Each structure stands twice: as C-alpha cells, then as structure tokens.
Chains A and B, each alone.
Chain A
C-alpha cells in the first residue's frame, strides 16, 4: 500500500533539509560551505522555529562537525551533517573514525571541486576522494533521488548487519540549487519508515562503555576485517531497504539504473546529474536507430561488482565517465572500479574512460555525443590503447 505523497517544488538543498526535518535527528552539527550552506540555513531555521527538537550545534569547522556527530552517535543519538568539497576534506580524518567506530552517522554531500586552486563549482573530487573511508556512498541524479536516498540512508547505515555511516551525494548547484518538482512523504510516514534509533549499546545508557580503544597489533586487523565484512554485507540490506521504500512510495530503486541497456552495444557509465544529459543523448541516438544505453550508478560503496559485470557483459564498448581525476595516471576512480569489475568476464567489453566536467565545466549534449561517437570508433578499430581521455577540456 503506497503512502500518500505531497507534491512540492524544491531545490536539491531544500529536499535534503526537508528530509532531515522529517527525520528529526537528535543532533545536527554543521558548518557552512558553498554550495551546501543552504541546508544548514534551512535546518537552523527549523530548529529556531521549533519544527524539530534536534540539538543544532553550529560548530566552528567541519572537523568539529564530524567530531561532534561521532560523539553524539556514540552517545545514543541519531546525528547528521552536511558539507561540500574542502569541508569534506577537513572531515577526512574523522570519516575513518566514524566508520571504524561503526557509527551510522548520515552525511549529505553536495559535491563540489576540491581546491586548489579554489573552485566552488561541481565535480566529484570531494566524495570520490573519500570513497575508501568505509562509508556507504549513494549518488543522486536529481532532487527526488537525493531526498529518497537520504531517507533510505538511515535504514541502511543503522541496520545491525551494517553499522556504517552513509553519505548521500548530489551535484552542487546543478541539482542543489535547481528547483524541480518532487514528491515528499508525509512526516509521519518518514518517522515510521526510519523508526526510533535504538542502538544495542551507547555511552549514556547507564552502564560502563569505552568507545575508541587503542587497538593494538593484536586486534586492529580483526576489527578492519569486520568493517570490510560489514561493507560486503551491506548490499543485501541496501536492496531490502530499496524494496521496502519502493513499496511505500512506488519509487523503485536498484543498485544502479539501466537505461535502454537491454540490447545496447555502446554504453555510458555515469553518476549524479550528468546521467540526465546522457539519457537525453541516448534517446536522441535511439531515435536514429543506434543501439546505445546508459548505466547510472547509484550505489558506489559498496561497489556492485557482479551486477555491473553482468549488466555490461553483452555490451561491445563502454565509456566510463569520471567527474574527478584521481591522478593515478590510469584514469578516474569510477573507471578503475568498473574496469576491474569486468575483468572476470569471458568476453569483456572494450572500455575507455572520460574525465569530464571538472570544476563546474558545463556537460553538454555535444560532450555526450562525442563520447558515443568515440565508442563507435573504438568498436571499429578494436583499439583502446588511448583509454584515458578527456571531454570538454580545451586544447585536448
């Protein structure tokens, strides 16, 4: 039985703030940074108006934001924060602490380029850099997906078989500041869906508890193994939560979205807002009879390796889009993982990588047309020696 929905028009930032308001977490500790600042504004106002009974802590840095969330979550509170770019970089040390302490903090990342030089516009260098920090990462094409992902992130992270923090990512300005139609759940339904936060143990439950011990050679490795096992097991919980959410809202999600992939010979793998542009171009080429498709990643950590390999197994050539370079001299981070996922296939698709849209560079229809055209050329020659490519950068 689907729940009643409320039709609204909200920006991506307001969608996240609304989700946070409906969750009504115990503690929100946050610090302003473009382009996520608005979320902090909205939430501060909710607290000021008594729309939430959250303890809102206006900290002096993102480092303290994540530190306070760690302290709060360890003390039996649902805690949340939001940030972008350098703010996420300043949290870096504590990202590992949150996941290592197995505290399901939620973090909305409004993706923005990392300095330097400083740039306030969108790319994915912030959250891609944090991909190995033991956080679950969900990516969102639009405000609806950001809102839905955020609500689901609590159920995923807090599940007893997971107990990992979750970051929900969306593109700075492109979706964070764009007002779109959205369907919201009633607050009561949100409350029912996320449920009461009731960890097995916490710091102020009346009994002694030590959180964050000095973990020596004798035990550290085992604890890391357990953290990895939690990430391994998260996929099942993620799928269960997606299913339940689908039944509640009618919006069905999977680990990734396959757009016209059934008979596709050429495919673009992409995440966040550029998936929209890729789908538009895909439709255009389909109208001309070309067998093209789009695979939009939604869950990047844990990485759905087997499912991606299967989805790409019949494709002749794949272009993996990276809105971040990781300076490995062998392509971007999404490319590395997608190519690795396909290594075990008997008939691997030809695969190339495009770095695109860094620092807010417009991602155009022509860019995506160029990518599909490049795949045609790769199929023709069978040559992927030049696999590490760029699109939209001048002089290349």
Chain B
C-alpha cells in the first residue's frame, strides 16, 4: 500500500474540528495522524489522560471525538483503556460484540513519563491489544508549563524557573521510549510531524495492527510553553529531527531500526534558538550561555551515538 497524504486526508475524521486546542499545538495533529492509520472497517475507542487534549476536546455537552472516547483520571489512561480492551475480549468471547474496535490511549508527557508511568508499565507488561500514544510536549502545559521528567535540561518552566541561582531545569530528559522498549513489547516507535506525515502514519499503522500493547512516542510541540510562532510547528519538528534531539526510529520485536538519518546533522543551536524557553542560553542573534549549549550538544551526541550502536 503506497502512502498518499492527500488520500489519507480525504478519509472521514475520527477526531473532528471545533475543539479548543491552540493554533500550532501538536496534540490534535498527533491524534488525527494516529487515528487516520486505522482501517476504515475498524472503529476506535480513545482513552485520554487528563491533559490539554482532554479539557480542549470534550467540553460537555460537546465532543470532538466522532467515535468512542473515555476520560477517567490523570494517571490511569493505560489501565482505563486496558479495561475497555478487556471488555471487548470478554464480549467477543460471550458472542455479544458486533463491531470491530481498536483501542488507543493518549497521554501527555506528564500523564505518561511521570504520574501515569506505573499504569502504563502494567498495561504494557500484560500485553493488552492496544496502542499507547504519548504526545510529548515536554512539560505540564495544561496546568501552566511546569517541569516534567520529559522537560529538557535548561528549558525554562514555571517550576524550574530561570533565576539568579538557577539556569532553568537542572536535569536531562528521561528516555521513556527506551524504558518502554525494556518491557519487551512487540512494537515501539518514536516519531513526530515531518514532511508528508509518512513516518507517523506508517508507525501508527504498525502499532495498531501488530497484536499486543504497542507504544508511540510523538514529539508534539507546544507554542505557548516552547514559545514559538504557531505557524512554525512543522519547522520546530523538522529541526528536532535534523539535530537528532528527537531521532526517528522503531523497535520491532526488540530490533532497533532508524527510520530517518539526517544527511547533515545540524548543530543543536539551530533547534534551541527557535524557542523562547531557551532564551536565557541562546537567542536568534547570539549564544548567551555557551557552556549550557555545549552541554546540551554533548548530551545529544552521546544519545545519538548510543542509538546508532543499537540500530547497527
């Protein structure tokens, strides 16, 4: 099946317009991309952790979800959607289930890297037939841009502010995708919004149609928290990929594979200077804190080297 973005975009939307997510936000783009990869004959139930996506898409009595949707709490979307999947299995076994369904959990990085990690880990280990999608915008954007364990070092966030004694966040980002791989689930991938969305689409398709608990980590920038112009969403994502800050890869049954290798690996400055959250270390005009920039570059290089070793 050859991929054609135009054709894909002509499919009926499972997540429709009219929601209240910000212009330039990655969350809705991620949801539409992931659900587009579900075959026409299958319906979906999406579980959503408490998040921007949740509060913006289902304000009673309105909903942007044209299929099944459930929210129950913040830290439990994996267990909640696992319950839906268990119900589906049991109903099928009892001969009560007519329509064919796919089960997807969406959580932000707060709901996934932090408070929802236990629930995620349990669901992955138990192998429910579901896809967990983390839309990673690297902070608790819904509650006002607080640090999460996904926030990169030196980023300015409201609970790791820049001050006379502190340079923003003090710790590097947790490698959640690697942690998920450690669970030994069938399919794990890291993706974001690039070019014609082929990478995201193909990974989402594999995640949906590989039996078992599969995982997608999607870098989904936030214009408010990262401080970029809404129209620059795609540009920021491309820079994340080309600087190797957010490498695109998949792990199929434990086999690591790069799905994109930049021809020219760009310096991290190109990525950082586009974002207001790093303004205290670099601006479009100049580098303010060269040590910090060098440390981030060294960290990216180290992670990239390790990833290449795993993929070869």
Residue numbers of A with Cβ under 8 A of B are 26-27, 29, 53-55, 57-61, 63-65, 67-77, 79, 93-94, 97, 101, 203-206, 208-216, 218-219
Question: Does any Cβ of A come within 8 Å of B76's Cβ?
Answer: yes
Q: Which of B65, B71, B96 contacts A208 (CB 8 A)?
A: B65
Kindly name the residue among A53, A58, A213 whose own CB sees the greatest number of chain B CB atoms within 10 A.
A213
Which one, B114-122, B168-176, B214-222, B282-290, is touching chain A? B114-122
One digit per residue, 1 when the CB lies within 8 angstroms of any chain A CB and 0 when it does not, for chain B 41-70 equals 001010100000011001111010111111
Question: Does any Cβ of A come within 8 Å of B133's Cβ?
Answer: no
Task: Tell me which residues across on chain A come within 8 A of B122, comparing CB atoms.
Answer: 59-61, 64
A71-B72 contact in complex given A57-B86, A77-B86, C-beta closer than 8 Å: yes
In angstroms, Cα B122 to Cα A58, docked, is 9
In angstroms, Cα B87 to Cα A216, docked, is 29
Q: Which of B61, B79, B87 contacts A55 (CB 8 A)?
A: B87
Q: How far is the CB of B250 from chain A (nearest CB, A)?
A: 26
On whether the beta carbons of B61 and A213 are closer than 8 Å, the reply is yes
On whether the beta carbons of A214 and B58 are closer than 8 Å, the reply is yes
Name A96's closest neighbour in chain B (CB-CB): B73
In angstroms, Cα B50 to Cα A44, docked, is 32
Task: Tell me which residues across on chain B come within 8 A of A79, comparing CB atoms.
Answer: 83, 87
In angstroms, Cα B123 to Cα A216, docked, is 31
On whether the beta carbons of A77 and B90 are closer than 8 Å, the reply is yes
On whether the beta carbons of A57 and B72 are closer than 8 Å, the reply is no
Name A59's closest neighbour in chain B (CB-CB): B122
Q: Which of B73, B76, B84, B126 contacts A204 (CB 8 A)?
A: B84
Which one, B97-105, B144-152, B200-208, B232-240, is touching chain A? B97-105
On whether the beta carbons of A69 and B83 are closer than 8 Å, the reply is yes
On whether the beta carbons of A72 and B87 are closer than 8 Å, the reply is yes
Task: Tell me which residues across on chain B come within 8 A of A218, comparing CB atoms.
Answer: 60
On whether the beta carbons of B76 and A209 are closer than 8 Å, the reply is no
Task: Tell me which residues across on chain A come within 8 A of B43, comparing CB atoms.
Answer: 204, 206
Task: Tell me which residues across on chain B come within 8 A of A58, comparing CB atoms.
Answer: 126
On whether the beta carbons of A210 and B87 are closer than 8 Å, the reply is no
In angstroms, Cα B1 to Cα A290, docked, is 88
Task: Tell me which residues across on chain B come within 8 A of A206, comparing CB atoms.
Answer: 43, 98-99
Q: How far is the CB of A321 from chain B (nearest CB, A)?
A: 35
Q: How far is the CB of A345 from chain B (nearest CB, A)?
A: 42
What are the 7 tightest A-B residue pairs by CB atom distance, in nearest-first order? A71-B83, A60-B122, A68-B83, A77-B87, A64-B79, A67-B79, A75-B87
Beyond A26-B90, A70-B80: 20 further Cβ-contacts under 8 Å? Answer: A29-B83, A59-B122, A60-B118, A68-B82, A68-B83, A70-B83, A71-B80, A71-B85, A72-B90, A73-B87, A74-B70, A94-B73, A204-B91, A208-B67, A210-B69, A210-B70, A212-B70, A213-B60, A216-B59, A218-B60
In angstroms, Cα B68 to Cα A53, docked, is 25
In angstroms, Cα B89 to Cα A342, docked, is 50
Question: Does any Cβ of A come within 8 Å of B6's Cβ?
Answer: no
